[in-house]
Structure 1
């Protein structure tokens, strides 16, 4: 996630600001990075930084369909980071 944070800080501030949350999803710890805006997909990563899916956003608002149950199955939300600028 450090690389994702560094990449975000390397670009101009987005609106809404980027946030990263930690959850338990399908019995594993995952990180959900919000999308900056409009028709962009948010991203869920595993603890090694691998992309698991895009649960929402995009033209349909439903992401890539790879974790359609993310909203219902995520648990133990914790805000890990948000753009401080």
Structure 2
């Protein structure tokens, strides 16, 4: 959400992290607003938005990337990112 280049690679084991940060989209604030609305009340969701010629396009909403079985590289990021997710308490 802060447009910071991350040092880990995502869940696809054949991809590598880019060496050069991607330019910040001019529509980033609009994208943030859209993400906040779509993610409201959800403990985790990935929302894919794209900027093309100054317009925002919606890609998809993903609740379980890699069917929940993917891992990050380097491995320590599995714990670092996992600790950021706070699941709701189960009601009895």
Q: Which bin holds the TM-score, normalised by the shorter protein?
A: under 0.3
Q: Which has the higher strand share?
A: 1
Report the structure number with the largest CA radius of gyration. Answer: 2
- The alignment's TM-score, normalised by the length of structure 1, stands at 0.28
